[in-house]
Amino acid sequence: MRHEDRPKTVVEAVQAAPFPVYGLTDYPLTLSVSRHGLGISHLSHLMSVTLTFSSPRHSVRSQTIEITSVDAASQRSDREHMIFDLEEPSEDQFFNGRTGIPGRYHFSEEEQKQAGNPGTWEGMLSLTNTVFSGKLIHWKHPLQVSAFLLKSEETILIGNACDLSDEELMQFLGSLQIINHQDNLLKQYQYEFDNYPSR
């Protein structure tokens, strides 16, 4: 996939994915699609699609949930370029100062110390008749932040959330649906992205 051929819009990105992409279909009006992104392999294959739903409050720690749908087949066949250690996901991977939760939400070293050990959930989750196995890690202090990893045969879901309780995040995750061919929903996503207040 040449750079000029890469999908530019939310609609194009999701429709170009050769794997199931998941998104929120029922979320409060306080959230809007604020960002979207692609993961392209060294062979120029589309490997992942990221959607970020945020509160339009002007704060890096406003209510946010980010969901990356990853092509599970590409991760099995190209372990050298895996975007995540899928065999043994550890808390350190999620709470890494440079790339994890603190780096994303600008937590100071003192706040990282205050956070302490997270609560964890591990189990099975059924989304649109597909069973995922997964892990969710949640810190309650100094601000509610979470990270999750859900795996199925076709799609791996990786993400994080800020200013959502673990119960709220589980409700959101439980409502995820495949959105590849939901044209009206994708147009809504694009409208929200184009009109997001900070843009």
Model-level pTM? 0.82
pLDDT of the residue at 59: 58
Query: For the segment 80-135, what is each residue's pLDDT rounded down to a tens digit?
Result: 444 454 445 454 555 454 445 545 566 667 776 776 677 888 999 999 889 999 88
What confidence tier does 11 reach under pLDDT thresholds 50, 70, 90?
very high
pLDDT at 29: 72
Q: What is the mean pLDDT of residues 18-38?
A: 89
Q: Looking at the predicted structure, is the pLDDT value of residue 30 above 90?
A: no
- Residue 25 CB neighbours (<10 A): 13
> Which residues make Cβ contacts (< 8 Å) with residue 164, sequence separation at least 6?
63, 65, 144, 146, 172
Q: Are 189 and 50 in contact (CB under 8 A)?
A: no
pLDDT higher for 155 or 28?
A: 155
